[in-house]
Copies of this chain bind each other. A is one copy, B any other.
């Protein structure tokens, strides 16, 4: 089987496991982590939350730092954390932390050299869920969440495939990559200079156009160093208003961009998803 288990840790009565597999979409070997709650060992098919991490992360950051397993065990929810880009020696890269490996932005690149491997949107929204549903005791009920670059990824997955997700949430998302330095740098590299091509990967643009979307919750910290320049939550609010969509946007005074913020409110986001996954 194209699925190699490389670690297993018992955690809150369930299991945290890491796997390697050959991704056809990304044309490289990929690692992901899955948390299987106790219910998954009792014959129940549990729903799955996909978690997309931010710049420089791997599958490990969320699993080690968010404290999510306690709640996933209580709520009977699996969590899958993919890596943040294709990886490996033959995969295009850049010395900067915000381009190339560790910075895939959950889109499908069209420009060389990136277009050979950088198809993270297809990977996280199609190939990985199919693999998970084929090999683990999970149902086809999916939710999606993420942080920063991964918050943007969660939003675009849910906006482009609303039928596939019961709910979507984000911590500190790069909400409007079209109009911020991180997004402009990555989109120019991955998608080219024609900004018309960028629209399909901008959460604010997609939200304005959307006719259907799953319940959406966003949490931001008001002491986040990246808030005004890179995240632009007010653009997301305006887009939701323009599109006539409900958006639960929670602002938290004093909190920053770190996992200390995520850990503080992951319980609220996971209970939000559990309510919709059960529905």
Residues of A with Cβ closer than 8 Å to B?
A: 9-13, 16, 64-65, 67, 69-70, 221, 223, 252, 254-256, 258-261, 263-264
Contacts and interface: CB of A to CB of B under 8 A. Distances in A.
Contact of A258 (B9, B67, B221): B9
A223 B10 contact: yes
A70 B263 CA distance: 8
A172 B177 CA distance: 46
Contacts of A252: 10
B69 A10 contact: no
B70 A10 contact: no
B11 A263 contact: yes
A85 to B, nearest CB: 23
A70 B69 CA distance: 14
A260 B65 contact: no
Nearest to A10: B254
Contacts of A221: 10
Contact of A65 (B13, B65, B256, B264): B65
Given A9-B260, A67-B70, 8 more contacts: A9-B258, A10-B254, A10-B260, A10-B264, A11-B264, A64-B259, A67-B67, A70-B263
A9 B256 contact: yes
A135 to B, nearest CB: 21
B263 A67 contact: yes
Output the residue of A10, A13, A261 with the most chain B CB within 10 A.
A10
